[in-house]
């Protein structure tokens, strides 16, 4: 399947497996996504290769950041019905607590969309949404 066909299939069926398989880093870290109506929840399963500190054990901060950035890009791509991965302009991440080696979730919210730039807020948590492990803000350049 070509990229537009994969995106159309994902939008129509809610099956993210082919889309994620087409993004090498998403496949590598194990990113998954579930759709509930218009809402999407991204998941990062517990995985030994994603650890940065095996003593705690805690997920590597770069993996958390990559997971959140990819979640925002996929969210925006599907929300905007574009056929290309949006280009990141700026990404600001705040780590709030250690991300332990357990399933991690992320939710995205489009906070502003202009003609050329879109802003997305991302929250990542583990056991409780009310205790996030990280928050981020991403700015993407839209197709023009």
Domains along the chain?
3-141 (3.10.129.10)
- pLDDT tens for 7-56 read 889 888 889 999 999 999 999 999 999 988 878 999 999 999 999 988 98
Q: Tell me how far apart the alpha carbons of residues 8 and 20 are, in angstroms, rounded to a whole number.
A: 14
Q: Residue 33 in contact with residue 74, Cβ under 8 Å? A: yes
* CA-closest candidate to residue 29, choices 65, 63, 74, 71: 63
> In whole angstroms, what is the distance from residue 28 CA to residue 63 CA?
10
**Rounded Cα–Cα distance for residues 112 and 114 (Å):** 7
Q: What is the pLDDT of residue 85?
A: 80
């Amino acid at each position: 399947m070509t990229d537009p066909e994969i995106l159309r299939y994902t939008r129509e069926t809610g099956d993210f497996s082919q889309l994620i398989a087409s993004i090498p880093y998403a496949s590598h870290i194990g990113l998954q996504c579930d759709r509930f109506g218009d809402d999407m929840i991204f998941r990062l399963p517990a995985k030994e290769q994603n650890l940065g500190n095996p003593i705690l054990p805690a997920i590597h901060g770069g993996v958390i950041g990559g997971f959140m950035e990819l979640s925002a890009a996929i969210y925006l791509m599907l929300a905007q019905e574009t056929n290309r991965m949006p280009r990141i302009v700026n990404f600001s991440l705040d780590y709030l607590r250690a991300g332990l080696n357990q399933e991690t979730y992320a939710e995205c919210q489009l906070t502003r969309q202009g003609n050329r730039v879109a802003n997305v807020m991302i929250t990542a948590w583990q056991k409780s949404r009310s205790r996030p492990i990280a928050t981020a803000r991403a700015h993407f350049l839209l197709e023009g």
